[in-house]
Structure 1
Amino acid sequence: MKEIIDKISSYNLFNYLFPGIIFVILLREVTEYDLVQNNNFLGAFLYYFIGLVISRFGSLVIGEILQSKKLKFIKFADYKDFVFASDKDQKIELFSEINNMYRTLISLFCLLLLSKLYQAISNWLNISQNVSYILLIIVLIVLFVFSYRKQTGFVVKRVASRTEKK
């Protein structure tokens, strides 16, 4: 267990585990859903996974909305410029990590609202637990398919930025 804890980076801690734990605690307070685990070992993996889902939702939905052409709330640097500048200034990686943590926290609160809304709708429509599980699995499949596509795009851009001559 100590080896696992030693390998957890600050990024994993603040963008996956921390939001997962906070989400589960707040979810129990604002809805009838209780995902708190009695087994700390299994709980750590569940909370990490929940945090990963929150982070991916933030990247795919919240990030895209905030940088949309209509909203223009944020603007990202060109990826090649980001890679080049990160090589020159190590603090950029830290700032990016903090930036992602804020986006993940925004995502956490949005998903809490959506959970509360889903609870109300499922109670009103009398949606069974089995149907809810099926819907959750479908949503997770879609989320991770798009996450995979986005991550593959980053890999391709990273390779291109390293093989192109500046």
Structure 2
Amino acid sequence: MSKLLSKISSYNILNNLVPGFMYYYFMDIFFHIKLISDDTVLKFFFFYFIGICISRIGSLIIEPILKIIHFTIPFNHTNYINASMKDSKIEVLYEINNSYRTIIALFVFILISYIYNYGFTNISFSYPFDIILFGFILFMFSYRKQSNYIHNRVSIALQDEKTIS
């Protein structure tokens, strides 16, 4: 197991393994639902798979919705690539941004589970719902702030390129 963990990048751990574990944890704490047995290896693969699903929900559903409602500004991929060649920190910032997006998707996924378990009519500001809502709002604004920061870094990197030439 330690050999397997050593081969996984920190990006994969943050964007796949941690969200999968957190979903499992919240399901157990909030809803008292055990999703899988106590087999460590099986849990690892389960957490990783659930985390990949959550990450994809963030990428394929959450991000486009945030762009459509103008909560975030879409990235120009060509500008991002050109700027990241000049400023290597942009890639790291973008990975952090992707982590925030995945955590947003995690809270959406937990919220859907909450509604599934308690129904729309039973939504109240209670312990689990408060935590889900707070986490969702916190990471929504963190994602927006990080996106704006990346846009600024990209603009500065591309501006420096224009002033040099």
Tell me the distance in 1 between the aligned counterparts of 2:90 and 2:117.
40
Task: Show the 5 A alignment for 1:6-155.
Answer: 6-68=6-68, 71-120=69-118
Tell me the distance in 2 between the aligned counterparts of 1:33 and 1:60.
27
Q: Give how far 1:32 is off.
A: 4.6
Q: Give how far 1:113 is off.
A: 0.9
2:138 — aligned with what? Answer: none
Tell me the distance in 2 between the aligned counterparts of 1:42 and 1:49.
11
2:142 — aligned with what? Answer: none
- Normalising by structure 2, we get a TM-score of 0.67
Please list the CA deviations of residues 105-144 of structure 1 after superposition, one character each: whole Å capped at 9, or x if unmatched.
11111111101222345xxxxxxxxxxxxxxxxxxxxxxx
| Structure 2 unaligned blocks of 5 or more | 120-165
Please list the CA deviations of residues 7-39 of structure 1 after superposition, one character each: whole Å capped at 9, or x if unmatched.
111110100001110110001122253224411
- Normalising by structure 1, we get a TM-score of 0.67
- How large is the Cα RMSD of the aligned pairs? 1.5
Tell me the distance in 2 between the aligned counterparts of 1:59 and 1:83.
19
Tell me the distance in 2 between the aligned counterparts of 1:95 and 1:36.
34
Task: Show the 5 A alignment for 1:149-164.
Answer: none
Which piece of structure 1 moves more, 46-55 or 29-38?
29-38
Q: Give the residue type in structure 2 aligned to 1:73.
A: F
List 4+ stretches of structure 1 deviating above 3 A.
Answer: none
* Equivalent residues of 1:25, 1:36 under 8 A apart: no
Q: Give the residue type in structure 1 aligned to 2:45.
A: F
- SS in structure 2 at match of 1:35: coil
Q: Give the residue type in structure 2 aligned to 1:97.
A: E
* Equivalent residues of 1:67, 1:75 under 8 A apart: yes
Q: Give the residue type in structure 2 aligned to 1:58.
A: G
2:153 — aligned with what? Answer: none
* Equivalent residues of 1:23, 1:112 under 8 A apart: yes
Which piece of structure 1 moves more, 28-37 or 88-97?
28-37
